[in-house]
Amino acid sequence: MSSVTPDAVNKSKALEPVGPLIGPGHTFGSVTDKISGAVLTRRTPLGWFVVFGVAFTLVMILMLAVAYLFSIGVGIWGINIPVGWGFAIINFVWWIGIGHAGTLISAILLLLRQEWRTSISRFAEAMTLFAVACAGLFPLLHMGRPWLFYWLLPYPSTMGVWPQFRSPLVWDVFAISTYGTVSLLFWYVGLIPDLATMRDRAKARLAQIIYGVLAMGWRGSAVHWHRYETASLLLAGLATPLVVSVHSIVSFDFAVSIVPGWHTTIFPPYFVAGAIYSGFAMVLTLAIPIRKMYKMEDLITLRHLDTMAKVMLATGLIVAYGYMMEAFMAWYSGDPYEQYMTWNRMTGPYAPTYWALILCNVLIPQLLWSRRVRTHVPLLFVIALIVNVGMWLERFVIVITSLHRDFLPSSWGMYYPTIWDWATYFGTIGLFLALMFLFIRVLPMISIFETRHTLAREKERAALRGALPSAVPGD
Amino acid sequence: MTENRKDAESVDLAALRARLAEARGPEYWRSLEELADSEEFQAFLRAEFPHPAPDLTDAVSRRHFLKLMGASLALAGVTACTRQPTEHIVPYVRAPEEIIPGKPLFFATAMPMAGAAIGVLVESHMGRPTKVEGNPDHPASLGATDIFAQASVLTLYDPDRSQVVTHLGSVSTWDEFLQALGTALEGQRVVKGAGLRLLTETVTSPTLARQIEAVLDLFPEAKWHQYEPIHRDHAKAGARLAFGEVVETQYRFDRADVILSLDGDFLTRFPGSVAYARQFTSRRRTGSPPEGMNRLYVVESVPTLTGSMADHRLALRASQIEAVARAVARELGLLDEEIAEFLIPHKAWIEALARDLKRHRGASLIVAGDEQPPVVHALAHAMNHALGNVGKTVIYTEPIEARPVEHLESLKELVADMDAGRVDALLILGGNPVYTAPADLDFARHLAKVEFRAHLGLYSDETAELCHWHIPETHYLESWSDVRAHDGTASIIQPLIAPLYGGKSAHELLSALLGKPGQSSYAIVRETWRAEYERGRWPQYKNFEHFWQMALHRGAIEGTAFAPKSVSLKMPRGGWASPNAPGTPSDERQAGRQRTLEINFRPDPTIWDGRFANNGWLQELPKPLTKLTWDNAALVSPALAERFGLRNGDLVRLEYRDRLVRAPIWVLPGHPDDSVTVHLGYGRRRAGRLGTGIGFNAYVLRPSDACWFATGVTLSKTGDRYELVSTQHHHSMEGRHLVRVGTVEEYRKNPGFVKEMGEDPAPDMTLYPGYAYEGYAWGMVIDLNACIGCNACVIACQAENNIPVVGKKEVGVGREMHWIRVDRYYRGGLDDPETYHQPVPCMHCENAPCEVVCPVGATVHDKEGLNVMVYNRCVGTRYCSNNCPYKVRRFNFKLYADWTTESFKAQRNPDVTVRSRGVMEKCTYCLQRINTVRIEAEKQNRPIRDGEILTACQQVCPTEAIVFGNINDPDSRVARLKAEKLNYGILTELNTRPRTTYLAKLRNPNPEIEHE
C-alpha cells in the first residue's frame, strides 16, 4: 500500500473494510478461552434450548411425515402428471445450494488467502455438511420405491445390470456423494487441532476420552502441523472443482431434459452463482443470531458480515443476469414453447411466485450496495432471510412452472403442495437446525487455531504500522 | 330354525338325480344336502350359524375382530389334538377338452343394452371371462364395441352386486321365494291374474317374450308393462304418425352423401351406433385425391360427439329444432308455411342445406334423435320419402321389440293400477323404476300399495329396497338367454362362467311363474330355438344340435335380420301440427338472477341411465367433450354462464314445477344458449360402494310429459361451490399444430399442406448412429378423420392392461392412469367452436426422451422400436414422465391396483403385470398381444402377417381409426398410411421421431355456407 497515490487511497476508502477481523483486546489465550468456553465451561444460553426445542419438534414432524410417506407412497404429496417433481426436488436443490457456501469459504477462499474466512469457515463447513445431509434425504424420499435406492449405484449386481449412465440422476449420485465425502473430510481434518485443544481443556473424563479419540493423537508438533497444512491444501484443491461441479451437475437434472424452461445452457453457471448466493445468505442467517447468543461479536465482526454481504450482492447480480438471459433467450430463440413458458411464468397461475422471486432475489438485495445496510445487523439478517426465501422460490418456479404447462395443452395441470409436502420441508429445516445447534454445543464453532493465527497476523500488521506510521497515509 | 333343519333333511331325491344327470363331467359332493344344492344347505348353515362372523366385514368392529383373533390364537394349540378329516385333492390329469392353461379361449355371445344387442367375443382365461371384444360376424358390432360392452366385464365381477335372495331386507332363499310366490299366485289363479303385473325393461329376447306370452296365457287378466328410462317412445310415436304403425328405422350411412341430423347422436347413442359409426366414417376416410366424402349437417340441442364430427353444426334449443325440420321440409316443398322468426338469421344456412339435400336425392339422409318429439320424426320420415332415400339410405323393418309399446304410457298405466289398488303382485324383472321413473308419477309411493312386490336385479338398489323380495339377477355373462340387435338379428347369449353370486335369470323366474321351477335357462332358451328350427327356417343344418352349435359359434343366428318392409307415408296436408309451439324461455322474464330456461335430460355418456353407476371404469372414463369424471353437471353455454356470473363448479339451484335439485355448473362451449343440460344416472342412493351418493339425481326434475326437454326451469346461484373433476383443463391448442385440420378443397389445392404446418427433422441430422431395425418395426397410425372420440379405446385399454381405477380425488389432482387418452381441443369462438378429438397413446419415439433420463434403465428401446417399460426395474424417479413431451406416462403414486378384492382378481388379464405402487407405466402397444402372435407365427415358421396383431385400442375402435403394424414392410397397411400426404407426427420438431403418427382431419364444408 505504500506506493499508492493519495488520490487512489481516497477512492478506495469506500471499499475499505469495516473495522478489524478480530475485536480489540484479544490475546491467544482469550481467543482459546472464549471459543472453547462456549462448549466446555459456560452455561448453555437459553436461546440454544429454545431453538433446539423448536428444531427437535420439527425433526419429529419429519419422522412422522417420512413414516407416512413410506407407508402410503409419494401420492401423499401434491405431485401428479404433468408435475412429476415437486417439493422434494425443490428442497433438494435448495439445500444443495445452501451447502455451497461452506466449501467455497473453506477451499476457494483458503486458496485465495482470504483471511477473513477463518472466523466463519468452521461454521460454514458444518452448515454445508448438514445441508448436504438434508439435501441427500430428498432424492431418496422422492423415489417411488425408495427401498431400491441402491440401484442407482454401480454395484456388481448378480443380474449384471448397471445404472444408466446417460441419466443426470446417476451423475447426481456421484456428484453429491463425492461432495459430501470431501466436505466431511475437510471439516474433520480442520477440526483435529481444535479437538486436541478441547481434549486438553475438557474437565470431564468422558469428554476427554471422546475428544481425545477424535483428535487422533494430535500433539501440535511441527511434523503434525506440516502434515496438517499439506492435507488441508490438498483437500482444498480437491474441493475447489467440486464447488463448481456439484451444482452444475444438479443443474443438469434440468438442463439435460427437453422441458421448456429446463433445457437451457445457462443453467450450470447460474445455478452455481445461485448456490453461493443462497449459501452466504444462510451463513448470515445463522451467524447473526448465534454470534449474538454466544456474544461472539468480537470474533465474527461487522467486517465479516460486511464482506459476506458483498459476496451476496455480487452473486445476486450474477443470478439476476441469469434471469434476464433466460427471458431474453426465450424471446430470441423463437421457440414457441420456450416463449410460452416464459410468458406463463410471468403472467400464468404461478405468476405471484415469479414476481416474489424477482423481488426477493433481485430487487431487495440491491439495498446491499449501501454500506449502512451492510453494517446494520438486523436489516442484514432480514435481507439474508429474504434471499433464502427467494432462492427457494427460484427452484419452485423452475421446477413447477416449467412442468405444469409444457408441450401438449391437453395435459397441462396444476400443482398444489399438500400438508405432507410442507411437513417434510419444515422437518428438514428442523433437522438442519438441530444438527447445527448440536454442533455448536459440542464442537468449537470457530476454528481456534486459525483465529489465533489471524490474531498473530493482525498484531504483526499493527506492529508494522506502528514502526512505519508515515508510510501508510490515511490509516 | 328347526323348520329349516327339517327342510334340509327332506332332500328331494328325484331332483338330485336329475341334477346329477344334467351335470357334465364328474361332480364331487360330500353330502346329500350339499349336493341337493346349496340353497337348502345354505339355509341349514344359516340356521345353524345365524351370523357367520359378520363383524369381519364390518370395518367398525375391528376391535372385536382382534378379540376373536386373540382368542383363536390362544386356542390354536388345542386343535392340534384333533385329527383333521382327510380331504383328497384331485390332480388335473383329465383336463377338460379345449382348455390349455395359459391360452385364452374366445366365446361368442351378445350383450343386451337397453333392448338392443351388440355381439361380442369374450376372452376367457381358464374359465374366467376377462375381456370383451367385438364380434366381426355380428351386424351391430362388426368387430368393435362401445364402452358399455367393454366395461360390462367389470360389472360381472363387481363385489357389490347383490349376492343373496332377500326378504324384507333379511337373507332368505330362492325356495322360500318360490313358496311365497306360489302363495301369491294361488290367489291370482282364481281371478285370472287380474292383480298380477310384470314390469320389464325393453324386451327383444324371443325367449323372454315367449315366456311372458305364456304367463299372460296362463293369467289372461295379468298385464305386462315395459319401462326403460332411456326409451324410444318418440321414435315409435313418430313412426305411427307417419305410417300409422310402429316400424324400426335403420340407416345406411355408408350410402349417404349428405346427412342431416336433427338432434340425433347416431354415432354413440342409437341402437346400432357402433355399426353406424363404421358406416359413417367409411365415407370420411379419404384416399388421395379425396373423393366421395360425405357431408354432415347437425342441428343439436346438446353438444355431442356427432355434432363434433359435423361439417356444419347449428346449436339450437331442443324445442327449436322442430322449426328447423319444418323449415327444411318447406324448402323441400313438403310444407307451405313461414319459416320461424328465430330462424331468419339461419335462413341461408337452411336453404343451402336443402339445396345440398336435393342435389343428392337417394343419397341423402335425415336422422331424428330420440329426444325430439314425434312430429320431428314424422317430418324426417317424410323428407326421406321426398328425397327418395327410402330403401336406399333408410330402411324400415318390423320393430325389434317383442311388443313395441310406448314405455311411458305403459308405466303410467301401471302406476294408475297400483294407485287404484288393482295390483296385488308385481314382479319387476330388471330395471330400477323407483329411481328412474318420472318424478311426477311418484312410483315409490304407489308401489307401496302392492301386496307382493318382487324385484330381480343385479344390485340391491333403490327398487329392491322397496320390494318385499329381491332376487339377485345373473349377469349376461353368467346365464343363457337370447336377444336381438338393432336390425333384428338374434343372438344366443351363452354364459362364460357359472353365476358368481348364485343369481337367477329372468327366464328362471318366469319359468317358476309358469309352474316349472327348476327349469334351467339353458333348457328354456333351447326350447325357443328348437321350435324355431322345427319350423324349417334353417334347412342347411342337418339337425337342431348342428344349428345350435353354429348359432353359438357365430354369435349371430343366420337369417334372423328383419327384411325391409314397405311402408306408406300418410302425411296430412300442411304436415303434422306440432302439439306444442316452441317454448320461449324469454329474456323478458328475467327477474333478478332468476330466468326461465329450457332443460335437456340426457342419459349419461358413461353410466347411461344409472345402471353402470357402480362400474369404476365407466365412472372414471372422462365423459366426451366435458372430460368430467365421477360426476354429472348442469351443462350451460358460455354466454349463459357469463350472464349469470357462473364458473365451473358453482352450485346452482335448478327448479322445475316445485321440484328442485342442486347441481354444479359446467360451462360447455357450443352449448345452445338459454338452456341447461343435465345427465341422468347420478345421485343414486343404493348403487354400491362406488356409485352411491355421487352427483345429483336429475330424475327428480324429469316430468312424465316432457321426458327429454322442458321449458320453464329456473336457475339460481347458491353461492356454494362443488368440486368437479375433469381430466383436461386446457382446451385450446395455443397455436400449436397438434390436430391438423384442413378442408377437402385445401387438400386438393395443396396436398402437402399438412406437412407444411410442422417441422420434421431428417433422421440423419444427428451425430449418433440410429437404431437399426432389421426385423419388425412396430408403428401406429391414427386417422383423425375417422376418430369420433367415443372413448372405446380408453376403456378397452383399461380392460386389457389391468389399469386401475384411482377415484375422484386422485383424478382431481391429475393422477388418472389411462394409458390412452382422447384429447379434445376447440377451435373458433366459444359459442360455436369446432371440436377435435385426438387419441394419444405412447408415441414410442425412436429418439425417446424418456429413455435417456432414467437412472436405472427401466425404460428402454427394444429391437423392434418399442419403448418398453421394465416395471421390476423402475424405482420411481418420474424423470421419464417429466421429460415426455406427450405426457403419456402414468405413475402409481399410491397402491392403486386393488390387490385384495377376490372377485377383481379373476377379471385381470393374466398376460399383463398388475403394477404396484411407485412404478411408472404406459402404453406398450399391447406387447402381450404382439408376443402371442409372434409365438404362433414362429411355431408355424412364418413371418407375422399384416393385420394379425390387433392392439386393444385398435380392435375395439368402431371406426377403425387406429391401425397398427410393421412399418418395415412397405406393403403393410400402416406403412401405406404413413406414406400418405396427410400423415404427420406431433411435436416432431423435438426430433423425437414418434412411431405413432396421425392422419390429418379433413372437413368437407358446403362452399355455399363457408367461404374461406
The pLDDT tens digits of the residues spanning B526-541 come to: 999 999 898 888 888 8
What b/e readout covers B531-570, taking b as 16+ CB neighbours within 10 angstroms?
ebbeeeebeebeebeebbeebbebbbbbebbbeeeebeee
Please, which residues bridge with residue B861 across strands?
B867
Name chain B contacts of A401, Cβ cutoff 8 Å. Answer: none
pLDDT digits 0-9 by tens, B434-489: 999 998 889 999 999 999 999 999 999 999 999 999 999 999 999 899 999 999 99
Chain A contact for B886 (CB, 8 A cutoff): yes
Question: CB-based contact (8 Å) between B875 and chain A?
Answer: yes
pLDDT grade, residue B737 (50/70/90)?
A: confident
Q: What confidence tens digit (pLDDT) does each residue in A186-228 have?
A: 889 989 999 999 998 888 899 999 999 999 989 989 999 999 9
For residue B366, the cross-strand partners are: B260
Nearest by CB to residue A144, choosing from B825, B855, B919, is: B919
- Measured distance CA(B867)–CA(B852) in Å, rounded: 12
* C-alpha span between B442 and A397 (Å, rounded): 57
Q: Other CB atoms closer than 10 Å to residue A307's CB: what's the count?
A: 21
Cβ distance of A409 and B736 shorter than 8 Å: yes
| DSSP class per residue in B910-958 | TTS----TT-EE---S-HHHHHHHHHHHHHTTSPPPTT----HHHHH-T
pLDDT at B605: 93
Nearest-5° angle of CA B1004, CA B1008, CA B1012? 65
- What is the number of other CB atoms lying within 10 angstroms of the CB of residue A468? 10
Q: Judge whether B435 and B464 are in contact, CB under 8 Å.
A: no
**CATH class belonging to B741-1003:** alpha beta
What does the alpha-carbon distance between residue B118 and residue A111 come to, in Å, rounded to a whole number? 81
Domain spanning B233-397, CATH architecture: 3-Layer(aba) Sandwich (3.40)
Q: Are strands B778-783 and B996-999 parallel, antiparallel or unpaired?
A: parallel
Given a cut of 90, whether residue A396 has pLDDT beyond it is yes
From A46's Cα to the closest Cα of chain B, the distance in A is: 43
Asked if the Cβ–Cβ distance from A170 to B810 is below 8 Å, we say no
Tens digits of per-residue pLDDT, B341-364?
888 889 999 999 999 999 999 999
User: In whole angstroms, what is the distance from residue A435 CA to residue A425 CA?
Assistant: 16
Q: Do A84 and B873 touch (CB under 8 A)?
A: no
Mean pLDDT of chain B: 86
Inform me whether the pLDDT recorded for A330 exceeds 80: yes
Question: What residues does each domain of chain B span?
Answer: 2-81, 166-231+406-554, 233-397, 597-725, 741-1003
Cβ distance of A257 and B879 shorter than 8 Å: yes
Please indicate whether, in this complex, the C-beta atoms of B878 and A173 are within 8 angstroms of each other. no
Neighbouring CB atoms inside 10 A of B745's CB total: 16
Q: Do domains B166-231+406-554 and B741-1003 have the same CATH topology?
A: no
Residues with Cβ within 8 Å of B857's Cβ and at least 6 positions away in sequence, in order, are A161, A162, A163, A164, B870, B873
Average pLDDT over residues B286-308: 85
Q: What is the pLDDT of residue B582?
A: 45
Average pLDDT estimate for B314-334 = 90
Q: Which one of B893, B896, B993 makes the best mutation probe of the A interface by having the most chain A beta carbons within 10 Å?
A: B893
- E strand or H helix at B779: strand B778-783
Q: Which residues of B touch A78 (CB under 8 A)?
A: 813
Q: How close A139 gets to chain B, by Cα (Å)?
A: 8
C-alpha cell at A22: 478480530
Q: How far is CA A23 from the centre of its chain?
A: 26
CB contact under 8 A, B892 and A144: yes
The model's pLDDT over B399-419, given as tens digits with 9 standing for 90+, comes to: 999 899 999 999 999 999 999
Query: Which of A72, A81, A146 minimises the CB distance to B889?
Result: A81
Give the mutation candidate from B838, B856, B889, B990 for the A interface (greatest A CB count, under 10 A).
B856
Task: Indicate the SS3 state at residue A18.
Answer: coil
Using CA coordinates, name the residue in chain B closest to A256.
B853
> Best residue in B726, B759, B794, B813 to probe A by mutation, most A CBs within 10 Å?
B813
Q: Inform me whether the C-beta atom of residue A413 falls under 8 Å from chain B C-beta atoms.
A: yes
Per-residue pLDDT, B579: 60
Alpha helices, DSSP H only, in A294-418?
A: 302-333, 336-347, 351-358, 371-375, 377-396, 402-404
Of A83, A143, A256, the CB nearest to B875: A143
Residues 166-185 of A with CB under 8 A from B: 166-170, 173
**B827 CB within 8 Å of a chain A CB:** no
The CATH number, out of the four listed (2.40.40.20, 3.40.50.720, 3.40.1440.60, 3.40.50.360), of the domain defined by the range B597-725: 2.40.40.20
Q: Which of B878, B885, B893 sits opposite A407 (nearest CB)?
A: B885
Looking at residue B732, its pLDDT comes to 83
Query: Would you say residue B90 has pLDDT above 70?
Result: no
B735: left (phi over 0), alpha (psi -120 to 50) or beta: left
- Cα separation of A317 and A325, whole Å? 12
| B736 close contact with A: CB closer than 8 A | yes
Beta-strand (E) ranges in B415-527?
A: 425-429, 452-457, 469-472, 481-484, 490-493
Do residues A67 and A135 lie in contact, with contact meaning Cβ atoms separated by under 8 Å? no
Q: Which residues contact B896 (CB under 8 A, 6 or more apart)?
A: B804, B805, B806, B810, B817, B915, B917
Q: Which amino acid is at A327?
A: A
Q: Homologous superfamily of A31-189+240-447 in CATH?
A: Formate dehydrogenase/DMSO reductase domain (1.20.1630.10)
Length of chain B: 1012
**Of A408, A412, A418, which to mutate for an interface test with B (greatest number of B Cβ within 10 Å)?**
A408
Rounded Cα distance between B167 and B469, Å, is 5
| Residue B600 confidence (pLDDT) | 93
Q: Which set of grid coordinates corresponds to residue B5?
A: 333343519
CB contact under 8 A, A408 and B886: yes
Residue A232's pLDDT band (cuts 50, 70, 90): confident
Grid cell of B548 as nine digits: 345350435
Query: Considering only CB atoms, which chain A residues are within 8 Å of B849?
Result: 257-258
- pLDDT of B17 strictly over 70: no
DSSP B739: S
B883–A163 CB contact, under 8 Å: no
Percentage of residues of chain B with pLDDT beyond 90: 60
What integer pLDDT is reported at residue A343 of this predicted model?
93
Q: What is the band of B935 on the pLDDT scale with cuts at 50, 70, 90?
A: very high
Contacts B738 to A, Cβ<8 Å: 408-410
User: Residue B976 CA to chain centroid, in angstroms?
Assistant: 33
CA distance linking residue B54 with residue A13, whole number of Å? 88
Helix (H, G, I), strand (E, B) or coil at B399: coil
The whole-model pTM stands at 0.87
**Residue B92's pLDDT band (boundaries 50, 70, 90)?**
low
Judged by CB atoms closer than 8 Å, whether chains meet at B855 and A416 is answered as no
Arithmetic mean of pLDDT, A102-113: 79
Q: In the numeric block, which cell numbers belong to residue B158?
A: 363387481
pLDDT in tens, B574-624: 777 766 544 444 443 444 444 678 999 999 999 999 999 999 999 999 999
Model confidence at A44: pLDDT above 60: yes
Residues of chain B positioned with their CB less than 8 A from the CB of A173:
855
In chain A, residues with a C-beta closer than 8 Å to the C-beta of B889 are: 81
Examine the pLDDT at B947 and tell me if it is beyond 80. Answer: yes
Confidence tier at B754 by pLDDT (50, 70, 90): confident
**A250: chain B residues, CB-CB within 8 Å:** none
Q: Tell me what the mean pLDDT of segment B543-559 comes to.
A: 89
Cβ pair B975, B987 in contact under 8 A? no
For B208, the grid coordinates are: 323372454
Per-residue pLDDT band at B19 (split at 50, 70, 90): low
Q: Is A151 on the interface with B (CB under 8 A)?
A: yes
Task: Tell me if chain B has a CB within 8 Å of the CB of A214.
Answer: no
Give yes or no for residue B243 having a pLDDT over 80. Answer: yes
User: How far apart, in whole angstroms, are the C-alpha atoms of residue B455 and residue B691?
Assistant: 20
Which tens digit of pLDDT belongs to each residue from A119-157?
888 888 899 899 999 999 999 999 999 999 999 999 888
The partner residue sitting opposite A81, judged by closest CB among B857, B885, B891, is B891
How is B808-839 classified by DSSP, letter by letter? HHHHHTT----SSEEEEEEES-SSS-EEEEEE
Cis peptide before B289 (omega within 30 of 0): yes
Report the C-alpha gap between B987 and A407 in whole angstroms. 8
Check A163 against B895: CB less than 8 A apart: no
Q: Is B902 exposed, middle or buried (0-12, 13-18, 19+ CB in 10 A)?
A: exposed
**What local confidence, expressed as pLDDT, does residue B751 receive?**
84
Compute the average pLDDT of residues B536-559: 88
All three cell numbers of B972, joined, read 403393410
Phi, psi (degrees; rounded to nearest 5) at B559? 70, 15
pLDDT on residue B832: 86
Count of H helices and E strands in chain B? Answer: 33, 38
Contacts of B838 in chain A (CB under 8 A): 410
Residue B15 above 70 pLDDT?
A: no
Instruction: Judge: A409–B730 Cβ closer than 8 Å, yes or no.
Output: yes
Amino acid at A470: S
- How big is the A-B interface in CB pairs under 8 Å? 166
Choose the weakest-confidence range: A454-458, B82-86, B292-296, B426-430. B82-86
Say if residue B1002's pLDDT is above 70: yes
Q: For position B310, what pLDDT does the model report?
A: 93
Q: What pLDDT score does B26 carry?
A: 47
Does residue B67 have a pLDDT over 70? no
The answer to whether A272 and A252 have CB atoms below 8 angstroms apart is no
Nearest CA in chain A to B837: A410
Q: Which CATH number fits domain B166-231+406-554: 3.30.70.340, 3.40.50.300, 1.10.150.120, 3.40.50.740?
A: 3.40.50.740
B29 touches chain A (CB under 8 A): no
B668 falls in which pLDDT band (50, 70, 90)? very high
**What phi, psi does B638 have (nearest 5°)?**
-60, -35
Fill in the amino acid letter for A13.
K
Judged by CB atoms closer than 8 Å, whether chains meet at B876 and A84 is answered as: no
Q: Check CB contact of B990 with chain A, cutoff 8 Å.
A: yes
- Answer yes or no: is pLDDT of B29 > 70: no
pLDDT at B591 (0 to 100): 40
Instruction: Considering only the beta carbons, identify the residue of B810, B874, B878 that sits closest to A85.
Output: B878
The answer to whether residue A223 neighbours chain B at the CB level (below 8 Å) is no
Cell numbers for A454: 489471524
Out of A73, A407, A408, closest to residue B894 by CB: A73
Three-state DSSP class for B512? helix
Whether residue B181 is predicted with pLDDT greater than 80 in this model: the reply is yes
* B782 touches B996 (CB < 8 A): yes
Q: Are B119 and B241 in contact (CB under 8 A)?
A: no
Q: Note whether B887 contacts A411, CB cutoff 8 Å.
A: yes
Strands B920-921 and B105-113: unpaired
Strands B196-200 and B223-226: parallel
